[in-house]
Amino acid sequence: MSEKSFNAFEMAQKQFDKVADMIGLDQATRDLLRNPLREYHFSIPVRMDDGTVKIFRGFRVQHNDARGPAKGGIRFHPQETIDTVRALSMWMTWKTAVADLPLGGGKGGVVCDPHNLSAREQEQISRGWIRQIYKNVGPFADVPAPDVMTNAQHMLWILDEYETLTGGHFPGFITGKPVGMGGSLGRTEATGYGVIFTVREAMKHLNMDIAQTTASVQGFGNVAQYAIDKFTQLGGKVICVSSWDQNDQTSYAFRKKDGVNLDELKGITDRFGGIDKEKATALGYEVLPGDAWIEQEVDVLLPCALENQITAENVDKIKSSVKLIAEGANGPTTPEADAVLEKRGIYVIPDFLANAGGVTCSYFEQVQSNMNFYWTKEEVLKRLDDKMTSAFWSVANLADNRKLYMRDAAYIIAIERVAQACKDRGWV
Amino acid sequence: MDKIFPQNPRQPENLDKLINTLEERVKELNILYEIEELLHEPDLSLDEIFERIVNLLPTAFQFPEICKVKITYQEKEFTTKDFKDSPWALTADLYFQERAIGHIRVCYIEEKPMSEVGPFLRDEKQTLNTLAQRLSYHIMYLKLKQIFDKWETTKHSFSGQRPGEWKIILELLKRTDPDVYFRISRKMLNHLVWEGIAEANDLLQRFNPYVVMEQEENLLGEANAPIKKKESTDINQLAKEIFNLAAKYLTNGEILERIQRWMQEDKTSFLVRTTSDSNSSLTDINEALRRYYQINPEGMQLSPSTLIGVRASLIRRFFTDQLEFINIAKNYVRVRDFYKLLQRMIFPIGSHGKLGGKSAGVFLAYHILQTIEDSQELLSDVKIPKTWHITSDAMIYFMHYNNLDEMLEQKYKPINEVRKEYPHVVQLFKNSYFPPEIVKGIAMALDDFGERPLIVRSSSLLEDRLGSAFSGKYKSLFIANQGSKAERLEALCDAIAEVYASTIGPDPIEYRAERGLLDFHEEMGIMIQEVVGQKVGHYFMPAFAGVAFSNNEFRWSPRIRREDGLIRLVPGLGTRAVDRLSDDYPVMIAPGQPNLRTNVDVRDIIRYSPQKIDVINLETHQFETLEIRELLREFGHEYPMLKEIVSVFDGSLLRPMGFNTDFKKDDLVVTFNGLLEQTKFVKQVNIILKELQNRLATPVDIEFAHDGNHFFLLQCRPQSYSKFTAPAKFPEAVPEENIIFTANKYITNGIVTDIQYIVYVDPERYSQIESAEELKTIGRVIGELNKALPKKRFILMGPGRWGSRGDIKLGVSVTYSDINNTAALIEIARRKGNYVPDLSFGTHFFQDLVESGIRYLPLYPDEQEVIFNEEFLAQSPNALNEILPAFGFLSEVIRLIDVPKIRSNLYFQLLMNGDLNKAMGILMPHGSVQPDEDAGHASFGISYIDHRQWRMQMAEKIASELDAERFGVKGIYILGSTKTGTAKAGSDIDLLVHFAGTPEQRKELELWFEGWSLCLDEMNYLRTGFKTGGLLDVRFITDEELANEEVLAEKYNITGREGIERLLLKNDINTTE
């Protein structure tokens, strides 16, 4: 294979190097943070349904746990490579740090294609994975969660096997559990609400009155719906929502100038966030082409659907009225478009700050599980608000003080926090 | 299956009268049933029976109080109290051996107004006749039973060795039933002649069959001339001589055994005669079967060969002339099954109609399943829905009756005219009337069904001929069948008329025209089937339904083999499983690998779960499609087997439905998890598919439905290709430069023709891209091309796992909407170092690919024995810059090849054949590959054994007919597929002739063989439909060659002597004697 091909880990390292240069990080800390602290590689033998035995390759990478137990998902992926896992574990370290959670970063996985495996075989892989690694992970060392092609079921298998091996109950060892099995309330709301908590704070910072603002939202899934909910609660008005139409294989934007009614829209939406366009018309919504969401005369844009939605081609359609963009989705802005936004002075709350509500709620789940005491939804959401607010101000103040673009400020604050913890511990 | 309802029910004026008449008939039928019960009471004597009947019968008549009955039988009289004779009477005779032995007389003792037959109704007279006939049979039965009892006791009283034993039986027979006596004598004579006894030949000369016939007729009392005594004596004398001769050559035991067998056969010979006579109408056959079972309530045995003969005749009469079908069916279908079938058949008087392919398929499949040893009780709840059949000729009758004959010529009109006129034709049919006896039949069917929703299906005779490809061209209509009988009758007639009209609809006519089948006289049987299901709220539907295929043409994992099969499963009516859906997804399961599901991620499972359900609304009488969630919210607690059908999504997990499930609040997702994990369903479908495939010697597809209690088989036919895919045929010689690739791993069936553009993502270049942005851009460009290129006129080829989430490097990052216009998706796995990466098999949008008919092919260019024309793909001029100039900078990675432009009007053709596990991508002129729906000739096949057996018999026959001395032949040997047992329908018969004659002899011999060869080819054509131009492959061999094993091996490819088998020649046979 060619040496030159795209390598996620190299890319993550490059990004780190750039920030390390900006803050003038010393060489030893750089060397420590450029690579994972620990990597585990192991084999998982599994008796298949047809009686044969197959050996699967498993990984766990703990990039850094200076600030607390490593945290990160387990992926089942057919062509998993150690470089991908390394890169993802590094991103987890920054993600927990920017939200100021007492956690580190990790990632793991198994090279397998669940499409070719029965449920029983997947269970054997999950249990086999933890049997190989249980001495090196745990509620106070390294906490896994569901990720690509794994879900709560896999987590419960892993937890069950772990508890069997260690002889106790440790629900805090895993996050992403169903409510009633050690899961936390407020999980569904967490990301969407979190986005708006940062928006609310950003508006204070920008001297905007949220009750006087309007927003346009891309997407009508879980994140978007709760973002609209909270934004409206706070007095703002969402005037445009776009959603994917499965039948037409395209998206449409639904506009109501005096503000969309969330409950009304939810009533005509299928399970996947698809809004029925006939019914919407009947309810007085204008049905526009899907990309119309971006060209609305609003104060706030909330891209809450997919990555790569604000691109070099459409960034110029953004109206001058737009002062704030909060990235509810992962990576909705391409680098070219990002440069334009920076130049135009639009205030961008970067994705790993804006949607940190999800990982924060995972942290709460872990905390509650360790206490074996579970909070009410109100309590979860209150604490979420506190966490998001303080995370936002750390980044915003840094950006202000050092005249940095928000995205860069977020990275800097994350890396600096991790570097500081390493130093405090006397590692470097 | 079309899901259209008949429109505008119309009110017929003569319906009230019809209902009245029917009520009168019910009264009569009740009496007949009561009498039937009487006859089955074992302890009643004939006298007692008559006593009862004379008191029962008056109630069957319009004026019972003045109706009196008298039965006269063998000098005895039985009467109703106060019987007196009157002029207003009906009489029916009782018969035995076609001679009157008594009569029944029904009198009104007061005068009543004149009606149809005197004061009586025509139906009343009919009832009386039926009763008399029934009693005659009963008398015959009792008499025969007496004879048999006597004979049994006689048998017991002898040791079995006494010489005179059979003589006593004969004597008995001669006196009680001379006809049988003569026929048995004749059979004995035939037997003796067959045995080669010379004296028997002399007797045969004297046995003029006409004499016997005449004799019979005289005995029947139908001839006018008096019986000639002389002939009778002659025959008696002759019979005596025959048996004297038999006694001379045969043992007593042998004679006894034969007489016994022939007597039994004789009692049922009428059945054989009626069924095998192509002139007998369905009425005659019905009558014969009825008689057979009435005189044989205990089922006196026919000899096995006769039985099979009768079955074969019945299959031919009821279903099809197709030999393959008869050949298989005769082993599984019993005579009694036809008797039962006839109880629910509607046909015109004198009908010669058939029931059509659909009826035949399900009838045969069901009876095959009945014969399967089922130790695990997998098949114990398999049923077929209650079905009434209307024979095919009823349609012509209907058209004659309404003077619609000219409609039959509709098919010769230009197709656009047909299309234009069709709506009017439908109205015309629906406003026509059914002949009264058909209406009567339909009314009876409705009584039988009750207020149960029905489906009216076409069962076309053309389906036999075209295999299954033709099915689905005609309509199937659901009717709710609710309301008063008059309304229901009206709606049902309407639906039948509409289905009739669909035979001359534009689509089937166009289809037939394309295939040169317009002149085939199309007749269509009708199946009226109860809809399987239960009431849920005011809706009616099965718990779930679906289709299943023996061969899986859509494998979503390399672990699934083609023979693991495929089930498409939906809740509610199966209409949503049969057709590809544009807005919804059925659940797909490979019954051989039920644990490998199409979707793994919880979100995908939900995303691709069925959202809608087809039901019959019992209030509006309409077929409707509902949102499942809404239906369950309202009527979830009534839905059968819901626990097996849905799971509850709690935000992170899909859990089985619990006792506490709240239908209003909980998120119910159709997963069928319970059905797969907790029930025998998958095993059941698997065994059904496997057994049917084995016994029908062809892959099958079935339709089924489950009402919560039973599994109903709705349809079975050879696996259709029409809806999904047919195996491709490969052209013979393609120039090497026109082959783009070949493949031989994980191939399914499919043909994609006349592709103009190939979009090729160069795997090597793709893997060299360094930035994630650029990798993502590739996905976006594909999406743009998908919009820019003409729909279904391009294919996508590229590395790795398309649409894979999580790691963009593994494959082009696209969603389904980026590729939904392509005709095919081809994933390429290049070897990397010492391993070849896995491909996705399209799993990320697998179900979307299936429902939109996008073909998928995995390609492994670095495998042995495959071609991969990298030069063409990577070096041809790239049109990307012209179509999408903005992305010209990616033209190193994405290559857009305008095939006809660079290869002078050649187009790309993708040919995939799962049977051969072979696929090819080639360049050929436009239109040179026809997607052939009829490919593979989907019909019930003949198994290998039959092909071999027939060839062996023929080879033996040839050898035994060959005059070795005349032709100078020393021996004939059989070899090749006939010897090895692998002969197929079109195989040659390979013969090796050990020849030692003169050139003249050789020439003569070749001519002789050629005659055989052509004859056998014609015979084989009639058997199998294969024609090869000559079935014999004859080679000549000399003394020396035959002695030399090396030459045998080299020249004839025979390893050792076991490879050939010597056949007995005519001369050999003579000498052995």
- A271/B606 Cβ within 8 A: yes
Looking at the structure, do residues B136 and B170 belong to the same domain, yes or no? no
CA-based nearest residue to B622, from B526, B712, B485, B491 = B491
- B773/A80 Cβ within 8 A: no
Q: Which fold has domain A37-173?
A: Rossmann fold (3.40.50)
| Residue A178 touches chain B, beta carbons under 8 Å | yes
**b/e map B680-699, b = 16+ CB within 10 Å:** bbbebbbbbbbbbbebbbbb
Give the Cβ contact number of residue B1003 at 10 Å. Answer: 11
* Helix (H) or strand (E) run with residue B611 in it: none
With beta carbons under 8 A apart, name residues in chain B contacting A272: 606-607
Report the distance separating Cα B911 and Cα B926, nearest Å: 14
Q: Which of B651, B838, B841 sits opposite A188 (nearest CB)?
A: B651
CA-based nearest residue to B540, from B450, B472, B475, B447 = B450
Structural domain contains residue B369: no
Within chain A, all domains assigned CATH 3.40.50.10860 are found at 37-173
Which of B117, B144, B171 marks a domain boundary? B144
Question: Rg (Cα) of chain B, in Å, rounded?
Answer: 36
Range of the domain at B397: 386-530
List the 133-162 stretch of A: residues with Cβ below 8 A of B: 148-149, 151-153
| Residue B652 touches chain A, beta carbons under 8 Å | yes
Structural domain contains residue B70: yes
pLDDT digits (tens), chain A, 428 positions? 334 567 889 888 998 999 999 999 999 999 999 999 999 999 999 999 989 999 999 999 999 999 999 999 999 988 778 888 999 999 999 999 999 999 999 999 999 988 889 999 999 999 999 999 999 999 999 999 998 888 999 999 999 999 999 999 999 999 999 988 999 999 999 999 999 999 999 999 999 999 999 999 999 988 999 999 999 999 999 999 999 887 777 889 999 999 999 999 999 988 778 899 999 999 999 999 999 999 999 999 999 988 888 988 899 999 999 999 999 988 899 888 999 999 999 999 999 899 999 999 999 999 999 999 999 999 999 999 999 999 999 999 999 999 999 999 999 999 999 999 999 999 99
Looking at chain B, which residue has its C-alpha nearest residue A75? B806
Describe the strand order of the beta sheet including B750-755 as a list of residue ranges.
B739-743, B918-925, B906-913, B750-755
> Tokens for B165?
């034993």
CA-based nearest residue to B727, from B922, B507, B920, B927 = B920
Backbone angles phi, psi at B711, to 5 degrees: -95, 120
Q: What is the CATH number of the domain that holds B685?
A: 3.30.470.20
Q: What is the CATH number of the domain that holds B526?
A: 3.30.1490.20
Looking at the structure, do residues B741 and B877 belong to the same domain, yes or no? yes
pLDDT at residue B244, as a whole number: 84
Structural domain contains residue B249: yes
- A6/B772 Cβ within 8 A: yes
- Homologous superfamily of A184-428: NAD(P)-binding Rossmann-like Domain (3.40.50.720)
| Residue B600 touches chain A, beta carbons under 8 Å | yes
- Mind listing the pLDDT tens digit for each residue in B525-566? 899 999 999 999 999 999 999 989 888 877 888 888 888 999
3-state helix, strand, coil in chain A (%, to 5): 50, 20, 30
pLDDT at residue B463, as a whole number: 64
pLDDT at residue B1023, as a whole number: 61
- Give the total number of structural domains in chain B: 6
Looking at chain A, which residue has its C-alpha nearest residue B831? A1
Contacts across the A-B interface (CB distance below 8 Å): 120
Contacts of B233 (CB under 8 A, 6+ apart): none
Burial class (CB in 10 A: 0-12, 13-18, 19+), A343: exposed
Beta bridge partners of B90: B106
Give the Cβ contact number of residue A215 at 10 Å. Answer: 28
Alpha carbon of A247: minimum distance to chain B alpha carbons (Å): 6
- B556/A118 Cβ within 8 A: no
- A177/B837 Cβ within 8 A: no
Q: Determine which of B555, B589, B600 to mutate to test the interface with A (most A C-beta atoms within 10 Å).
A: B600
Report the distance separating Cα A33 and Cα A27, nearest Å: 10
Contacts of B226 (CB under 8 A, 6+ apart): none
DSSP string, B806-863: S-GGGB----GGGTTT-SEEEEE---BTTB-----TTGGGHHHHHHHT-EEEEE-TTS
CB A325 within 8 A of CB A349: yes
CB B909 within 8 A of CB B929: yes
pLDDT at residue A98, as a whole number: 96
Looking at the structure, do residues B324 and B418 belong to the same domain, yes or no? no
Three-state secondary-structure class, residue B69? strand
Looking at the structure, do residues B801 and B664 belong to the same domain, yes or no? no
Structural domain contains residue B37: no
pLDDT at residue B946, as a whole number: 62
B860: left (phi over 0), alpha (psi -120 to 50) or beta: beta
Three-state secondary-structure class, residue A52? coil
Report the distance separating Cα B572 and Cα B541, nearest Å: 5
pLDDT at residue B1060, as a whole number: 76
CB A71 within 8 A of CB A426: no
Structural domain contains residue B479: yes
Looking at the structure, do residues B892 and B783 belong to the same domain, yes or no? yes
Looking at the structure, do residues B485 and B602 belong to the same domain, yes or no? no
| Residue B836 touches chain A, beta carbons under 8 Å | no
Alpha carbon of A178: minimum distance to chain B alpha carbons (Å): 6
Written in H, E and C, the secondary structure of B681-728 is: HHHHHHHHHHHHHHHHCCCEEEEEEECCCCEEEEEEEECCCCCCCCCC
Give the Cβ contact number of residue A345 at 10 Å. Answer: 7
CB B135 within 8 A of CB B101: no
Which of B486, B501, B530 marks a domain boundary? B530
Looking at the structure, do residues B640 and B780 belong to the same domain, yes or no? no
Looking at the structure, do residues B650 and B777 belong to the same domain, yes or no? no
Report the distance separating Cα A294 and Cα B680, nearest Å: 53
Looking at the structure, do residues B544 and B526 belong to the same domain, yes or no? no
Structural domain contains residue B39: no
CA of B849: how far to CAs of B154, B578, B973, in Å? 76, 16, 54
| Residue A86 touches chain B, beta carbons under 8 Å | no
Report the distance separating Cα B965 and Cα B974, nearest Å: 20
Report the distance separating Cα A137 and Cα A141, nearest Å: 5
DSSP string, B888-933: GGGTTTEEEEEHHHHTTTEEEEEEEETTTTEEEEEEEETT-S---T
Sign of the Cα pseudo-torsion (B229, B235, B238, B242, in order): negative
Distance in angstroms between the alpha carbons of the first and the last residue of chain B: 65
Looking at chain B, which residue has its C-alpha nearest residue A186? B651
Report the distance separating Cα A314 and Cα A337, nearest Å: 8
Is A323 designated active site? no
Instruction: Using DSSP bridges, classify how beta strands A53-64 and B622-627 pair: parallel, antiparallel or unpaired.
Output: unpaired
Looking at the structure, do residues B629 and B748 belong to the same domain, yes or no? no
| Residue A343 touches chain B, beta carbons under 8 Å | no
CA-based nearest residue to B691, from B335, B374, B356 = B374
List the 700-739 stretch of B: residues with Cβ below 8 A of A: none
pLDDT at residue B14, as a whole number: 62
Q: Mean pLDDT in each 10-residue stretch from start to end of chain B (1073 residues)?
A: 43 61 73 79 81 84 85 86 85 81 88 82 83 82 73 58 69 76 83 82 67 48 48 71 83 81 75 81 84 65 76 86 83 86 88 85 90 85 93 89 82 77 86 90 91 90 57 77 90 91 79 70 86 94 93 83 90 83 82 88 86 92 90 92 92 86 90 93 94 87 92 85 65 86 86 90 86 83 89 89 70 83 89 70 74 85 87 90 86 91 88 86 84 46 59 82 83 77 71 85 87 82 66 83 74 66 71 42
Structural domain contains residue B376: no
Looking at the structure, do residues B522 and B547 belong to the same domain, yes or no? no
With beta carbons under 8 A apart, name residues in chain A contacting B557: 113, 115-116
Burial class (CB in 10 A: 0-12, 13-18, 19+), B966: middle
Give the Cβ contact number of residue B634 at 10 Å. Answer: 16
Looking at the structure, do residues B998 and B903 belong to the same domain, yes or no? no
Q: Which of A119, A152, A176 sits opposite B595 (nearest CB)?
A: A119
- A176/B652 Cβ within 8 A: yes
ipTM over 0.90: no
**Which residue in the block uniquely carries the two structure tokens 């096995």?**
B304
Catalytic residue, chosen from A71, A95, A107, A177, is A107
CA-based nearest residue to A76, from A87, A84, A64 = A84
Helical spans, DSSP H, in B550-680: 575-578, 602-607, 628-635, 642-645, 673-678
CB B456 within 8 A of CB B528: yes
- B809/A6 Cβ within 8 A: yes
* Helix (H) or strand (E) run with residue A24 in it: none
Within chain A, all domains assigned CATH 3.40.50.720 are found at 184-428
Beta bridge partners of B918: B913
Structural domain contains residue B884: yes
